[in-house]
Amino acid sequence: MSKNNSQEFKPFIPADKVMPEFTATSIVLGVLLAIIFGAANAYLGLRVGMTISASIPAAVISMGIIRGVLRKESILENNMVQTIGSAGESLAAGAIFTLPAMFIWMKEWGMGTPSILEITLIALCGGALGVLFMIPLRKALIVKEHGVLPYPEGTACAEVLLAGEEGGEKAAVTFIGLGVGALYKFVADGLKLFPSEIETEIPGYHGAAIGADVLPALLGVGFIIGPKISAYMLAGAVLGWFGFIPMILNIGSMGDVIMYPASVPISELGYWGVWDSYIRYVGAGAVAFGGIFSLIKSLPLIVSTFRDAMKDLGSTTGGGNTRTDTDISMKVVIIGALAVVLAMMMLPFIPVGFGGGLLIAIFGFFFATVSSRIVGLVGSSSNPVSGMTIATLIITAIAFKATGNDGQSGMIATLTVGAIICIIAAMAGDTSQDLKTGFLVGATPKKQQIGELIGAVAAALAIGYVLILLNNAWGFGSSELPAPQATLMKLVIEGVMGGNLPWSLVFTGIGVGITIELLGLPVLPIAIGLYLPIHLSTPIMVGGIVRGVLDKKLGKAEGKANEESEIKHKIDSGILYASGLIAGEGLIGILLAVFAVFGVKVALSSGIGQWGALAFFAVLTYSLVHFSVMRKHSK
């Protein structure tokens, strides 16, 4: 679909139809889910370094309660619940990827722990700015780029909502996928019948390895984003795991070479150690370059968007002529953003000062834009928020050190800036996915944006208590809560302040990004693949291949009405089933996180190993093939 065709798009609920949307039911249920998802994902992220998107689980739970229990029928109410609820997961992700470093430092320095008020205010400022910075971009990214930016989770969430509303075959396919995804996730990561992550070294190729997180959500995301973007991501992963890692390990095997940030010889690291110590810096450099270059290329679109938005500066309607085109007014957005920035500069509980507040305003909007485009391209699960935060920390630490704001106070100030930026990027990505869902189903953007702010406030008020509870229970940096992202942020700040950051690795990543751009290829998806473990890109590629088979058939059938219609039905069915897989894994992932917090153990005493995992994933892939390539559709 071309950009111009976006103007012809008709949502499920027409603009002239008014339905219950921003109701007491949707607000209360949304706030509860925001707190629950925020807490559960905080634990999960501190354990494994990644969180689960909560949009689809929130939508499914909302449909179950509003339609099943309360016997009310409003797709817009369900959409509002997932909008508010998913904000909790996004804010938690930004907080846990950074703030635990502050806990670790203060323990090392004998200063106790950060106060509830400090954590709450940091989270609140980041959450509010993430939503406010995204609002002026909605028409540029969601409306004008409709058909160009797929927004996989936002589209999947809309499909789930529509399936629940329309019933019939759509609902059946989606909820079969949901059941399969949920059962698979519970068997893999709950009962632990087989490992959800498999890997093997490449025989005869020292240091090279390939692996896969054999999980339904990644398979579903691959189908939704398609073969081309999936292949770009895998290309970046192959560059890292078949190129850089074996090269570094082979050079390291020639002697006891210790290169910072590792503290042991390279020969003792193994491929995971090399990825953790070196490749993530290379990936961060590539992602930073990709983000900057992406912003430069999109500047004309951003400028035109703001020019249109500024025309509405004195309006309170958000510039829309219809219900589905109405945002929070630019006047409110600008005053709100300025108030938050000024509060950060003046409040002693947010130790950033004038310079830090200025950096947050500049980098916050920049990374909100980049994050919104990235999630539109490859989905929230592959949004390299930590890569953006690393780039922010490097620049902020250099600026603070150059102005004499170093030592313990400078490190805390740098981390605070990075934490707020991280939350902004996570919230902007989530907001754009939710607004895409709303665009497809016919929601009111202004009400969704208010819902996002409510979800951010609810999650911010809860996240401080969650972090302090978890720190008191196990301690951040322990085997129970290793907090991998936060320890990396801590390392980056200490590296810059101490003058020993591995700049050569960061510049290597920038060089990779420049090379990709010169080849005429999209930098961001390749850089994301380089930054993330190959274990995420391989199952995404499998889903992309299944989608590619259908796309190829559709191309061959062009002009043959009946055949083309049948293939389009199959693609729709595949997207519905893939959406169900994502929803099913998300729901059980949240449930297992709650089990972990309360110490509920359901794992079996023994599993069936990697071959069993591969067999289960093959069956899962076949089920996707069945509901797309092979399934016959009723006319």
- At 339-348, the pLDDT tens digits run 999 999 999 8
Question: 241 pLDDT exceeds 90?
Answer: yes
- The predicted structure's pLDDT at residue 581: 87
Lowest mean pLDDT among 155-164, 294-303, 612-621: 294-303
> What is the mean pLDDT of the segment spanning 40-65?
76
With a cut of 60, say whether residue 314 has pLDDT above it: no
DSSP 8-class letter at 135? G
pLDDT on residue 58: 80
Query: Hey, CA dihedral for 575, 578, 583, 586, is it positive or negative?
Result: negative
With 60 as the cut, is the pLDDT of residue 185 above it? yes
Rounded to whole angstroms, what are the CA distances from 294 to 63, 419, 506? 37, 23, 18
Residues 306, 307, 310, 312, CA torsion sign: negative
Given the structure tokens 């050190």, which residue do they identify?
401
Output the pLDDT for position 598.
80
Residue-wise pLDDT for 541-568, tens only, equals 999 999 998 888 777 766 666 666 677 6
For the stretch 348-384, pLDDT in tens is: 889 999 999 999 999 999 889 888 888 888 777 667 7
- pLDDT computed for residue 194 by the predictor: 92
Residue appearing with tokens 């200063």 = 111
DSSP secondary structure code for residue 325 in this structure: G
* Region 317-325 average pLDDT: 74
> Tens digits of per-residue pLDDT, 267-300?
899 999 999 889 988 988 888 888 778 767 777 7
Range from 45-54, 109-118, 220-229, 600-609 carrying the lowest mean pLDDT:
45-54
Taking the CA atoms of residue 491, residue 390, residue 387 and residue 366 in that order, the dihedral angle to the nearest 10 degrees is: 170
Contact 199, 536 (CB under 8 A): no
pLDDT tens profile 454-472: 999 999 999 999 898 888 8
Q: Which of 104-118, 133-147, 621-635 has the lowest mean pLDDT?
A: 621-635
Which sign does the torsion angle of CA 509, 513, 518, 519 carry?
positive
Whether the CB-CB separation of 342 and 357 falls below 8 Å is answered with yes
Lowest mean pLDDT among 38-42, 197-201, 282-286: 38-42
Percentage of the chain with pLDDT > 70?
A: 90
Average pLDDT over residues 43-69: 76
Cα(288)–Cα(218) distance, rounded to whole angstroms?
24
Mean pLDDT score, 60-74: 78
Per-residue pLDDT of 132-150, as tens digits, reads 999 988 988 898 888 888 8
What is the mean pLDDT of the segment spanning 486-499?
Answer: 85
pLDDT at 635: 46
Residue 499 φ then ψ, to 5°: 80, 15
**Cα separation of 362 and 358, whole Å?**
6
- The C-alpha angle 575, 578, 584, rounded to 5 degrees, equals 140
pLDDT score recorded for residue 39:
85
170 pLDDT band (50/70/90 cuts)?
Answer: low
Classify each residue of 298-314 as buried b or exposed e, where b means 16 or more C-beta atoms within 10 Å of its C-beta.
beebbeebeeebeebee
Tell me the average pLDDT across 165-189.
Answer: 81
Nearest-angstrom CA–CA distance, 383 and 617: 24
Quick one: pLDDT at residue 316?
A: 47
Give CA–CA dist 51/91, Å, rounded: 11
What value does the mean pLDDT of the chain take?
A: 86
Interval 75-98: pLDDT, tens:
999 999 999 999 988 999 899 999
The Cα-based distances of 196 to 179, 180, 186, 380 in angstroms read 18, 15, 10, 20
Q: How many CB atoms lie within 10 A of CB 568?
A: 14
Confidence of residue 519 (pLDDT cuts 50, 70, 90): very high
pLDDT band at 50 (very low <50, low <70, confident <90, very high): low
Residue 516: pLDDT over 60: yes
- Percent of the chain's residues with pLDDT above 90: 47
The answer to whether the CB of 141 falls within 8 A of the CB of 524 is no
Structure confidence by residue, pLDDT tens digits, 392-437: 998 999 999 999 888 899 999 999 999 999 999 999 999 999 999 9
- Here the contacts of 163-170 (C-beta below 8 Å, separation 24 or greater) are 163/576, 163/579, 164/59, 164/60, 164/63, 164/67, 164/75, 164/78, 165/12, 165/73, 165/75, 169/633, 169/634, 170/576
pLDDT value of position 2 = 40
In the predicted structure, residue 131 carries a pLDDT above the cut 60? yes
The mean per-residue pLDDT over the stretch 193-209 comes to: 92
pTM over 0.85: no
Q: Residue 1's pLDDT is what?
A: 38
Are 105 and 449 contacting, i.e. CB atoms less than 8 angstroms apart?
Answer: no
Contact 441, 157 (CB under 8 A): no
Question: Confidence class of residue 167 from pLDDT cuts 50, 70 and 90?
Answer: low
Q: Is the pLDDT of residue 451 over 90?
A: yes
Average pLDDT of span 613-621: 95
Q: How far apart are CA 438 and CA 9, in angstroms?
A: 13
How high is the pLDDT of residue 525?
Answer: 87
